Structure 1
Amino acid sequence: MKLSVLATAVTLAVTGQVATAQSGAEKKRQATLEVVEVTARRTTENLQEVPVSVTSLGAEALNSAGVSVLTEVQQFSPNTTLQNSRGTNSTLTAFIRGVGQQDPLWGYEPGVGIYIDDVYMARPQGAVLDLLNVERIEVLRGPQGTLYGKNTIGGAVKYVTKRMSGDANAQVDVTVGSYGQQDLKLTAELPLVKDKAYLGLGYADLSRDGFGEYLIIADSMGYQDPENYNKDLTAMRATLELTPTDNLFIQLAYDQTEDDSNAKGGYRLLPSLLTNAPVPGSVFDSYTSMPTDNYVELKGFSLTAEWNVSDELTVKYIGASRESYSDTNIDFDNTPLDIFDVPAFYDDENTSHEVQFSYAKEGYSVVGGIYNYDGESCGHFDAILGFLGRAAYGALGATGLTREVTGCNNSKSTAVYAQSSIELNDQWSVTIGARYTEEEKEAFVKNGVNLSNVYPSSGWIPGYVRPATAVFPQVLGRDTNGDGVLDAPKSEDWSRVTPRVGVEYQMDDQTMIYASYGQGFKSGTFNPRATINERAADPEIVDSLEVGIKKDWGASLRTNVTVFTIDHQDRQYITVTPDPNDPTALNQNLGNIKGSTVDGLEAEIVWAASDALSIDVALGILDGKIENDPTIAAPLVGLSNTPDYTLNVGATYYFDTAMGNFTARANYYYRDDYILFEDSDLLAQDGYGMVNLGLTWESPNGDVYGGLYVKNATDEEYMVGGYNFVGVAADGSYLPGLGGDQTLVSYYGDPRTVHLNFGYRF
C-alpha cells in the first residue's frame, strides 16, 4: 500500500466523520475533551502539540478498562504487539509497526524500548510489568533514535509512576476472580519533613491458579506442581522524594519483583510420533518431562535529580543500576519424554547514567544530553535431546544427548543527543535533532556436546549431580588452559548518527499538521548459540517518514491520524535448524538480510458525545514486505507478530447515584491474521475479536471504590508464542524435526476471566 494512497484514504475518512461528529457536538455542547499530557519529547507537553504518533493512557482510563498488566495496553495502541513470550509469564514480546525482536535469548537486543520513569529496561525477561502506582503509560510509535537512542527502532513504551501528593495516605486494593485469583496491593505515602521529604511504599502479592494443567509429568521428576499458566508474583517499590529547595527535586527509588509462577507448557498441534499421549483437549493443557519450576527476579535502584536553574533552563540527572536473574524449564516437545528439553538460566546486570537539559524560550526550545550504558548479559542452556541420543549412540554407552551453550554478551554504549523545536512564525515550526551513539560489544560462547542428559546445576532434578566437566567445549576464540573460558572474548564496535527532521504547521488553534523523518539504530550483536567463530551481525537501521494531523473538532471530537512508511535495513535474521547429517548439531544462522518495508496508517478518535458518554476508536493498518535475499536458508514469508489490521472500539459511560459515581466500560478489540515466525506460516493465528466489559464504582467521598470486570468475554483462543521444529515434505505432509518428533507447539493468551475489585483509601 503506497503512502499516497493511505493519505487519500485518511483525508476521505476524516472528512466523512466530521459532519456527523460536529452535529453531535452541537447537540451536546456541554461535552468536553480531556487535556492529555505526555513526555514523548522528554518534556511535559500537550498531546495535541507533540508531532509524534503516541498513545497515552492515564490511571483513570486504565482503571475503567481494568488494565492490570502491561500487555493489555496493546489493545489501545494501533499497530502494537505487547504479549507474553513463550514459556514464561514475565518475558515480553514487543513489536510496533512490524519492528521488534522475537527471540528473548541473552545478547539479542529488543526492537522496542521499555522505560520505567525514563530508566531503560534492557532485557525482555521480567518486562511484563504488573501495574502498581502508575500515573500513565505512553506508547511512542516509530523509531525514537534521537531522544531515546538505540533499540527503539520500532518505538518505545514508557511506564510513568505517580509522584507524591504531599499528604499522609494509604490505600489497600483487593481483587478476587476466576481461576482462584487473589491479588493484594498496598500503597502508602508518609511525609517525613513537611514540604521537603516524603516516603512512598508499594507492595503487591498477585496469585492465580492455572488455566490448565500438566496431564503427565515424568516419574523421574518427583513431585511437581501440575498447574499450567498459573501466577505467583510479588512486587514492591520504595521511593524517597526530596525537595530541599523550591527549584530542586530528588527522587531515589528501589523496586523488586519475584515471579515464582510455573514454567508454561505449550499445546501440541500435532500428535507425537514417539509417545502415545493424545493431543490435549484444552489449549492450556500440556505434558512435560521437566520440572515445572520457573523463577524470575528483577530489581534495581534509580536516582533522579531535577534542577530548575531558571524559568528557561532545567537540568536533570537519571542514574540507575538494575539486575535480573531467571531460571526456567522449557519443554519444547511437551511430552513425558526427554525429546527436546531446555533447562536454562539468564543473568543480567547494567548501569546507566544520563545528564539531560531542556531550555525553552518564546519561539525556541531544545532538549539534549549525554547517556552512558554498561551492561553484562549472560546465560546458560542445555538442549537435551535424550531420546535421540540413546537411539543413535546407545551402542556407545550414551545415556542421552545434550548440546550445552554458555556465554555472555557485554555491551557499552555512549551517546550525545540534542533536539530543537524552532517557531518560524505563528503557524510554522521546525524540529531538528540528532544523536551520536558509540557501541562496543564483547562476547564469548562455550558450545559443546555430551552423550548424556546434562542440567545446568546439581539438584535441578531430584538426585542429579552435575559433572565437573559437563561438555566437550568448542569455544569461539582461544582457550589455552582448557577450562572452557576464552582468554580474549570477541569484540566489535559500531557508531552511528541518527537524525530527526520535522516540520509542523499550526493551521488553527485546534489543528496541527506535521511531517517528519526519523532514523533508529538497533545494536549489532554476536550469536549466543554460535558453533563456529563467526563475526557479529551488523546493526539494524530504520528510516521512517511520517505525516500526521492532530485535530480537535470543537470541544467534543478529537481525531489524530498518521500515515507512515518504514524502510528497515540490515534486519538481523535468526533461525535454528537441525543438520540432517549430524543429530548432535543445533545450528543457528545469525546475520543480516537486505531488509523490509512497511507502509501504514494509524487513527485515534475520541468523541465526548455527552457529559456521560465518550467513545474511542484506535485503528491500525499495515502493509509489510520482506525483500528477497538469496543468502538465507528459508525464504521469509512475512512479518512476525504483525497483523495487517488492528481495531479497538470502546465506549465509556459515567453516571452518578446517591450511592456514588459509576463508570461502565466496554470495548471490542480485533487483530487480523498474523504469523509467529517469519520463516514459516505453520504457526499462524487467524483474525479474532475480543470483548471486554467493566463496571467501576467510587463512593461519594472517594474513600471506597470497586470494580467488576469481564475480560475476553467470548473466550477467544489466540496464539501468542510457539516453537516450530517440524519438517514439511514436498506433498505437504509433516516430517520429524529436531529431536526426532513432530514438534509444533503454541502458547495462548488468557481465556475468559471475571474478577471483582475492592479498595479503600485511608
Structure 2
Amino acid sequence: MKTMFKAALLAGAAWGVAATGAMAQDQASTTSNPAAVDEVVVTARRREESLKDVPVAVSAFSAENPGRQGASDITVLQQTTPNITVQVARGSNSTLISYIRGIGQQDPLWGYEPGVGLYIDDVYVHRPQGAVLDVFDIERIEVLRGPQGTLYGRNTIGGAIKYVTKKLDDEAHGKIKGTYGSYNQTDLLVSGSTPVGGGLSVGGAYAIYKRDGFGSNLTTGAEHYNKDVQAIRLSAEYAPTEDLFFRLAYDKVQDDSNPRHGHRELPALVGGYKVLDTYDTQAGLGDSNSVETEGVSLTGSWNATENLTLKSITASRKGHTTTIIDFDGTPLPTLDIPATYDDRSFSQELQAVYSDENVQGVFGLYYMNSQASGEFDTIAGNLGLSIADGGKVRTQSFAVFVDASANMTDRLKVSVGARATRDHKRSNTFRLFYLGATRSPYQGGTPRPIFATRTNYGAEKTFSEFTPRLSVSYDLNDDLTTYASYSKGFKSGGWDMRGDAAITPQTINGYRPEVVNAYEVGLKGYALDRRLSFASAAFVSKYEDQQVSTQVVVPSGIASSIDNAGSSTLWGVEFESQARMTANLTGTVALGYIHAEYDTFSRFVPAGAPNPLNPSQTIPAGGQIVNVANLYGFQNTPEWTGNVSLTWTGDLAGGTVAVTPMVSYRAAYQQFEQPLPLLDQDAFTLVDLTASWTAPNSNYKLSLTGKNLTDETYRTGGYNFGVATYNNSVIGFYGPPRTVSASLEVKF
C-alpha cells in the first residue's frame, strides 16, 4: 500500500501540473515567448513529429544533452531516463545490457535474443557485443518505452533505443576534441565533412578512448578496468534533386581493453586469497581481450509525390569477440572462462511513408538473415575438467508492418498498427567434457579425445506472431495531449547454448516465444506559458511465457536452463519535465516507479540440486518443476529511478559559460531473479557536474567534467558460484569511481 500511495502521488503530481496548464491556457500557444522551452521533434513513428503529438512514452536527447552531462557513451541513459537499465555487461567495456520497464536481456550469449532493440540510423543491431555506442557526431538519441513491434524490426518487446547520427552539412567544417582526466584518461575525437559538388558530400569521424585501470591484476601486473577503444564512422550523402537522397555509411568499433575479471566478494576456501580492493583482482587466466564490430548501410529515399515518400534501408553488420573472464579471481584454474563469439547479419527494409492533413502512416516490409555462433570453455580445476560449450544459430526473419494515424476531428486522433513476424531458426549445439583443467582444443588447448559428450544436437523451428497496436489521443488544447494505448510485444524462442542434455534432457526442445500485452495512458505537452514541457505515463504490462536464464551448481559442474518461467505483472508511472525558470536557468526532472512481480515462476531444477522451497532437500532423479514465484524477483529493475539537473548559462570573457550539476538515484535492485544479498545492489545516488566555456565565435570550447563526485561504490553485475567446488567464487562487477576530466574542442 505504501508504494502504491507513492506511485499515486507521482502520477497525481504529473496530472496536476498539466491541469494547471490547461486551466491557464485555452487559447493558442504562446510560441513567441522568448522564455519558452524548445520544441522537441522525434521520429519515433518513422516520421517527424513533435514529441507532444506522439502517443508513446518517448525520451529524446539532442546532441547537446550528453555533452552537458559529460557522457562518453549511451550508458548515461540509465541516469537520465525513467525505468531503464543501460550498462556495460560484466567482463567487458563494450557489451551492452539493457532493460526497459523490467524487460531486457542480461545474458549476452549468442542465440539469446535481446528484449530491447538498439538501432543505428534505423538499422537493427542484433548482438550486444560492441553495442555500448560512443556518443559523438549524433543528432539525437530516442528511448521508446514499451513494446514497439509495429514499427521496429525485431525484439522491441521492452522498447527501443534509437541512435540517430548527424547528416552532413552543406558547408565544409571540422572539429578536434581532446580530453585528459583521472586515471590518465586520454581521449581524442576528430571529425569533419565537406561538399564535393553535384549534390555529393563526404564526411567522417575518428575517436580513440584510452584510460588506465581503476585497479590492477596483482597476479600479472596488468591494468584492471582500463579502457582502450577506437571507433570510426565514414559517410557519403548524395542528393541529386530535392526529392532524392542517398546515404552510404560505415562504422567500426575496436575494443582492446583488458578483460574485467570482477571482484571476489568472499575469501577463497583454497589458497588463502582474500577480498581485495574493489577494482583489483588476482586472476591468473590472462589479460587478452578483443571485441571488433563493423557495419555498412545504404539508405535511399524518394519523395514520389507531395504526400508519399518511399524509403529503402539495406545493411550488413558483423562482429568478432575473443575474451576471457576468470570467475574465481585467483591464479588457480578453479573457474576460468575463455570464449569466442562471431556474428553477422544482413537486413533489408522497404518503407512507404504517407502524410497529408488528415492521415499519416507507414507501410513496410522487413527481412533479416543473421548468424550468431561461439564457443567457450569452463575450466573447472577442482573437477579436473574443461567443459566446451559451442554452437550456432541461423535466423531468417520476415515481417510486414503498418502503422497509420487519422484525424477524426480537429482534436481527436486514432492510430492503428500491426506487424506479422515470421522467424525461422536453425541451431546446432554441443557440450563436451575434456579431462584436464586446461583449455579445450576449441580454445587452442592441447588436442585430446572427448571424455564425454553431454549435448550434441541440431534443431529447427519457425516462430510466428501477430502483434497489434491501438492508440487514441486527444488534444485538450493546443499545448496539451492525452492518450491511451494498447500494444503487444513478441520475442521469438530458441535453444540454450549452455544446455546439458544429461542433466536437463528437455534442453533439446528449446524454449517458446515470450509475449507482453501493454496498456498505457499518458499526458504530455506544455504548461506555464510554455516555460514547462512535460511527459507523463502510467502503464500496466502482462508478461507471458517469460524467458529466464538460470545457472545452478550441481555435482558434475554447472547446469544451465532457459525456461519459459511463467507470467508476471508490471505496472508503474513515469514523469519527465524540462523547465525554463529564467533566461539563464533551465532544469530537468525524470522520475520513474515500477512494481514488477511474478504471478507464476515455474523453474526446472535438475536432479541433485537443492530444492528452492526447502534447501535441506535435494531434487530426486529426473529433476522437478518447482513454482518459486514467491522467492524470486525481477533483475535490473529498481523500484524507483530519478534524475534532477540544472543548467545555468551566463556571459564570461565575451563567451558563454554553462554549468550543469546532475543528481541521479536508483533504488535497490537484484542482479538475478533469485535474491543474492552478497551481490544485490542497495540504493545509491550519483552526483555529476559539468562546466564549459564557449568562445564568442563558438570555435573554441573548454569543458570540465566530474563524474560520481561522491565516489559511490555500486555493482553493475555479478556471478554466484559460492560453493566449495568453485572455491567460494562470488564475483561482483562495479561502476566507475570518482573521475574528473578536462577537454578542449576546436571547430574550423
TM-score by length of 1: 0.90
Asked if residue 256 in structure 1 is aligned to residue 236 in structure 2, the reply is no
Deviation at 1:455, TM superposition (A): 2.4
Aligned counterpart, 2:726: 740
Secondary structure of the residue that 1:723 maps to in structure 2?
strand
Deviation at 1:518, TM superposition (A): 0.4
Contact 1:618 1:648 in 2 (8 A): yes
Tell me, in whole angstroms, the C-alpha distance in 2 between the residues paired with 1:507 and 1:321.
45
Aligned counterpart, 1:50: 54
Aligned counterpart, 1:493: 462
Asked if residue 10 in structure 1 is aligned to residue 11 in structure 2, the reply is yes
Tell me, in whole angstroms, the C-alpha distance in 2 between the residues paired with 1:78 and 1:622.
9
Deviation at 1:457, TM superposition (A): 6.0
- The counterpart of 1:551, out of the listed 515, 520, 525, is 525
Q: What whole-Å deviation, never above 9, does each CA across 1:282-303 have from its counterpart, x for those lacking one?
A: 2111110101111000001100
| Structure 2: gaps of 5 or more residues | 502-506, 606-611, 613-627
Asked if residue 411 in structure 1 is aligned to residue 395 in structure 2, the reply is yes
- Quote the sequence identity (%): 39
Map 1:583-598 → 2, pairs under 5 A: 583=556, 585-598=557-570
Deviation at 1:216, TM superposition (A): 2.1
Asked if residue 62 in structure 1 is aligned to residue 66 in structure 2, the reply is yes
Deviation at 1:596, TM superposition (A): 1.3
Asked if residue 127 in structure 1 is aligned to residue 131 in structure 2, the reply is yes
Q: What whole-Å deviation, never above 9, does each CA across 1:526-583 have from its counterpart, x for those lacking one?
A: 1101222621211110110000001201220122110000111100121111223xx3
Aligned counterpart, 1:226: 222
Secondary structure of the residue that 1:288 maps to in structure 2?
coil
Contact 2:321 2:342 in 1 (8 A): yes
Tell me, in whole angstroms, the C-alpha distance in 2 between the residues paired with 1:20 and 1:200.
45
Deviation at 1:680, TM superposition (A): 2.9
Tell me, in whole angstroms, the C-alpha distance in 1 between the residues paired with 2:299 and 2:416.
27
- When residues 16 and 43 of structure 1 are mapped into structure 2, their CA distance, relative to the original with a 3 A threshold, is closer
Amino acid at match of 2:110: W
Contact 2:563 2:603 in 1 (8 A): no
Aligned counterpart, 2:344: 349
Asked if residue 467 in structure 1 is aligned to residue 442 in structure 2, the reply is no
Deviation at 1:471, TM superposition (A): 5.8
- When residues 22 and 259 of structure 1 are mapped into structure 2, their CA distance, relative to the original with a 3 A threshold, is farther
Map 1:572-587 → 2, pairs under 5 A: 572-580=547-555, 583=556, 585-587=557-559
Aligned counterpart, 1:286: 281
Aligned counterpart, 2:214: 211
Aligned counterpart, 1:685: 681
Deviation at 1:14, TM superposition (A): 3.9
Tell me, in whole angstroms, the C-alpha distance in 2 between the residues paired with 1:128 and 1:384.
28
Aligned counterpart, 2:541: 566
Q: What whole-Å deviation, never above 9, does each CA across 1:41-70 have from its counterpart, x for those lacking one?
A: 011111111111011111112211111111
Aligned counterpart, 1:269: 265
Amino acid at match of 2:516: V
Secondary structure of the residue that 1:275 maps to in structure 2?
coil
Deviation at 1:454, TM superposition (A): 3.9
Q: What whole-Å deviation, never above 9, does each CA across 1:244-286 have from its counterpart, x for those lacking one?
A: 2220100001111100000002111111101212110x21111
Aligned counterpart, 1:237: 233
Count of equivalent residues:
712
- When residues 212 and 18 of structure 1 are mapped into structure 2, their CA distance, relative to the original with a 3 A threshold, is farther
Aligned counterpart, 2:735: 749
Aligned counterpart, 1:476: 456
- The Cα RMSD (Å) is 2.1
Contact 2:720 2:731 in 1 (8 A): yes
Tell me, in whole angstroms, the C-alpha distance in 2 between the residues paired with 1:505 and 1:169.
44
- The counterpart of 2:145, out of the listed 138, 141, 146, is 141
Aligned counterpart, 1:440: 424
Contact 1:454 1:470 in 2 (8 A): no
Deviation at 1:168, TM superposition (A): 1.1
Map 1:712-727 → 2, pairs under 5 A: 712-726=708-722
Secondary structure of the residue that 1:170 maps to in structure 2?
strand
Secondary structure of the residue that 2:240 maps to in structure 1?
strand
- The counterpart of 1:185, out of the listed 180, 186, 189, is 189
- The counterpart of 1:627, out of the listed 570, 592, 599, is 599
Tell me, in whole angstroms, the C-alpha distance in 2 between the residues paired with 1:151 and 1:382.
29
Secondary structure of the residue that 1:287 maps to in structure 2?
coil
Amino acid at match of 2:575: A
- When residues 563 and 20 of structure 1 are mapped into structure 2, their CA distance, relative to the original with a 3 A threshold, is closer
Tell me, in whole angstroms, the C-alpha distance in 1 between the residues paired with 2:565 and 2:265.
30
Tell me, in whole angstroms, the C-alpha distance in 2 between the residues paired with 1:337 and 1:5.
50
Tell me, in whole angstroms, the C-alpha distance in 1 between the residues paired with 2:318 and 2:576.
37
Aligned counterpart, 1:102: 106
Contact 1:171 1:760 in 2 (8 A): yes
Contact 1:447 1:473 in 2 (8 A): yes
Contact 2:699 2:747 in 1 (8 A): yes
Tell me, in whole angstroms, the C-alpha distance in 2 between the residues paired with 1:22 and 1:93.
43
Aligned counterpart, 2:745: 759
Secondary structure of the residue that 1:681 maps to in structure 2?
coil
Amino acid at match of 1:247: D
Deviation at 1:410, TM superposition (A): 1.2
- When residues 237 and 655 of structure 1 are mapped into structure 2, their CA distance, relative to the original with a 3 A threshold, is same
Asked if residue 295 in structure 1 is aligned to residue 290 in structure 2, the reply is yes
Q: What whole-Å deviation, never above 9, does each CA across 1:619-639 have from its counterpart, x for those lacking one?
A: 000111012334443435211
Contact 2:568 2:600 in 1 (8 A): no
Contact 2:168 2:201 in 1 (8 A): yes
Q: What whole-Å deviation, never above 9, does each CA across 1:327-383 have from its counterpart, x for those lacking one?
A: 111111111111000000100000000001110111111111000011100000000
Secondary structure of the residue that 1:62 maps to in structure 2?
helix
- When residues 456 and 653 of structure 1 are mapped into structure 2, their CA distance, relative to the original with a 3 A threshold, is farther
Aligned counterpart, 2:353: 358
Contact 2:18 2:523 in 1 (8 A): no
Amino acid at match of 1:658: A
Tell me, in whole angstroms, the C-alpha distance in 2 between the residues paired with 1:35 and 1:456.
58
Tell me, in whole angstroms, the C-alpha distance in 2 between the residues paired with 1:675 and 1:705.
41
Q: What whole-Å deviation, never above 9, does each CA across 1:443-487 have from its counterpart, x for those lacking one?
A: 1112110111342669x7xxx75316566444433xxxxxxxxxx
Amino acid at match of 1:166: D
TM-score by length of 2: 0.92
Map 1:376-415 → 2, pairs under 5 A: 376-386=371-381, 388-389=382-383, 400-415=384-399
Q: What whole-Å deviation, never above 9, does each CA across 1:485-522 have from its counterpart, x for those lacking one?
A: xxxx3101111000000100111000100000001111
Contact 2:14 2:575 in 1 (8 A): no
- When residues 438 and 653 of structure 1 are mapped into structure 2, their CA distance, relative to the original with a 3 A threshold, is same
Secondary structure of the residue that 1:676 maps to in structure 2?
coil
Tell me, in whole angstroms, the C-alpha distance in 2 between the residues paired with 1:753 and 1:20.
41
Which has the larger displacement, 62-71 or 92-101?
62-71
Amino acid at match of 1:744: V
Tell me, in whole angstroms, the C-alpha distance in 2 between the residues paired with 1:630 and 1:109.
21
Asked if residue 503 in structure 1 is aligned to residue 504 in structure 2, the reply is no
Contact 2:686 2:709 in 1 (8 A): yes
Contact 1:134 1:162 in 2 (8 A): yes
Tell me, in whole angstroms, the C-alpha distance in 1 between the residues paired with 2:566 and 2:719.
25
Which has the larger displacement, 468-477 or 283-292?
468-477
Amino acid at match of 1:210: G
| Structure 1: gaps of 5 or more residues | 218-224, 390-399, 478-488, 727-734
- The counterpart of 1:159, out of the listed 128, 150, 163, is 163
Amino acid at match of 1:56: A
